[in-house]
Amino acid sequence: MPSQKPKIAIVGAGIGGLTLWHALRARGLDADLFEQAHELAEIGAAVALSANATRELGRLGLLDAVVAASTEPTELVYRDGRSGARIAAHPMRLGGAYRQRFGAPYCGVHRADLQRALSAGVAPDRLHLGRRLVGLDEREGAVTLTFADGGSVSADVVIAADGVRSVARRHVVGDDGLLYSGTSGFRGIVPIDRLPSLPDPQAIQFWMGPSAHLLHYAIGGDAGHVNFLAVVEAPRAWPHAERGLAPSSAAEALAFFEGWHPAVTEMIAAVAHEARWGLFLAHPLPRWRRGRVALLGDAAHAMLPHHGQGANTTIEDAVTVAELFAAQDGDVNGALAAYEALRRPRTRAIQRASWAGNRALHLPDGATAARDALIAAFPEQFGWIHAFDALAAAKAPLRSAARSATR
């Protein structure tokens, strides 16, 4: 088996690409990161990181910076969107319940803070900004990456973490592989002192109603702001196939939530909503790799945000690829085959659960008794998502291969 280190190119310096860079470096492997943006600047939104990702960030020495900029939610609360009644509540920071159960924290963090933490320490000569991938071509064991600026580079292997509208996905599966969910979202970040009607402002809360829901959680080291995502079952068809954002307004957003609890309407009214987000997911792809090009993160398994797992599963992917590259000692094809076999079933199961979660959150009035029972059991039912240890899972097939080799 070859033992030379492969020349690795990562496309996209988002959550997946940056985590992968660190995970490779931690294992003595270098990679070049090619990012289309001219600077790394993430604006206007936050992300919730669960234990399946924070345990990996801890192993990479990146967690302290994330925790310092985060709020750990007190509880996970489900409420009726109109009356505000608490339908179910599960302790998280309270009594240390979440950390005790999963061994790592749950963090609400601004994306700019997360990006700062992930990009710190990336070698400047390995980060190539302003390089938008437009083409991939593989010949005789090498892949050529072509960029919009007309330049090209060659690598032994390409990991494409180029997000939900991945160019590399077209190369791997032959089409754009994206499906519009029939739902769209209004997002915003609001200072807590502008939300006088909000009960439990440091909890992560779902406000549920017919055909819509709103999710929010506090962010920042001082829990000074609330990040929210309001999801509605409209428009039926997305008008701009090539774009994830469409122009909108606060009036349009508020119209979906007429008659809802003031905590919900205050939050939505606090933001201008110049745009709404179409919620897209990747079709279950027939494959994640073609030759020496593999997809990672949203490029491979973009999912609905209802379990808050897009970024978390992306971080799991990154650790898995890095561990397999290191363990396979230069056998790129073996590492990529193992990566695909390990990651597809888990991410597919979470994609499915996220789709089902949307239905449970949007039931019409009068059909909610079964939903309420379901929601009361959510932490038990979906504990497998948070309990997952990606590094241990990546090491498991290697351990069993080693055992059979010594038999």
User: For ligand FAD, which is the closer residue by CB, 95 or 239?
Assistant: 239
User: Among 10, 13, 118, 208, which residue sits at the site for ligand FAD (rule: CB under 6 A)?
Assistant: 13
In the complex, minimum distance from the CB of residue 324 to ligand FAD, in angstroms, rounded to a whole number? 18
List b or e across 262-287, with b for residues whose CB sees 16 or more CB atoms inside 10 angstroms.
Answer: ebbbebbbbbebeebbbbbbbeebee
217 is catalytic: yes
Q: How far is the CB of 160 from ligand FAD (least distance, A)?
A: 8
Q: Which residue is nearest to ligand FAD (CB)?
A: 14
Give the count of alpha carbons within 13 A of 241, CB side only.
4
The residues in 130-149 that bind ligand FAD, with binding defined as CB under 6 A, are: 132-133
Which C-beta is closer to ligand FAD: that of 187 or that of 343? Answer: 187
- Encoded one letter per residue, x for contact with ligand FAD by CB under 6 A and - for no contact, window 285-324 reads ------------xxx-----x--xxxxx-x----------
Contacts of residue 45, Cβ cutoff 8 Å, sequence gap at least 6: 110, 111, 187, 189, 227
**Type of residue found at 164:** V
d(CA 180, CA 282): 9
Q: Can you give 90-120 as a three-state secondary structure string?
A: EECCHHHHHHHHHCCCCEEEEHHHHHHHHHC
The pairing of beta strand 8-11 with beta strand 31-34? parallel
SS (H, E, C) 333-372: HHHHHHHHHHHHHHHHHHHHHHHHHHHHHCCCCCCCHHHH
Q: Is 167 in the site for ligand FAD (CB under 6 A)?
A: yes
- Asked whether position 48 contacts ligand FAD by CB under 6 A, the answer is yes
Q: Which of 8, 10, 35, 181 binds ligand FAD (CB under 6 A)?
A: 35
What span, in angstroms and rounded, lies between the C-alpha atoms of 60 and 65? 11
Binding mask 185-204 for ligand FAD (x = CB under 6 A): x-x-----------------
One symbol per residue from 113 to 132: x for binding ligand FAD (CB under 6 A), - otherwise; what is it? -------------------x
Q: Tell me which stretch binds ligand FAD (CB under 6 A): 34-42, 57-65, 81-89, 193-201.
A: 34-42
Closest CA to 228 of 258, 203, 196, 259: 203
Q: Is 229 in the site for ligand FAD (CB under 6 A)?
A: yes
Q: Which is nearer to ligand FAD, 65 or 167 (CB)?
A: 167
Q: Annotated catalytic residue: which of 78, 106, 217, 339?
A: 217
Asked whether 224 and 257 are in contact (CB, 8 A), the reply is no
CB of 129 to ligand FAD, least distance (A): 9
Cβ 303 to ligand FAD, closest distance in Å?
7
| Contact flag: residue 163 with ligand FAD (CB under 6 A) | yes
Residues 346-405, interacting with ligand FAD (CB under 6 A): none
C-alpha neighbours within 13 Å on the C-beta side of residue 160: 31
# chain residues binding ligand FAD, by CB under 6 A = 33
60 to each of 16, 161, 186, 298, 319, how far by Cα in Å? 14, 19, 33, 21, 9
Q: Least separation, in Å, of the C-beta of 32 and ligand FAD?
A: 12
Work out whether the CA dihedral 62, 63, 67, 73 comes out positive or negative.
positive
Pairwise CA distance, residues 299 & 395, whole Å: 24
Contact status, residue 347 vs residue 303, Cβ threshold 8 Å: yes
- Interacting span for ligand FAD (CB under 6 A) from 88-96, 161-169, 332-340, 399-407: 161-169
Region binding ligand FAD by CB under 6 A among candidate stretches 6-14, 74-82, 256-264, 339-347: 6-14
Amino acid letter at 89?
A: A
Please give the Cα distance from 183 to 218 (Å, whole number).
Answer: 24
CB of 47 to ligand FAD, least distance (A): 4
Catalytic positions: 217
Which residues are near ligand FAD by CB under 6 A?
A: 11-17, 34-37, 47-48, 132-133, 161-163, 167, 185, 187, 229, 277, 297-299, 305, 308-312, 314
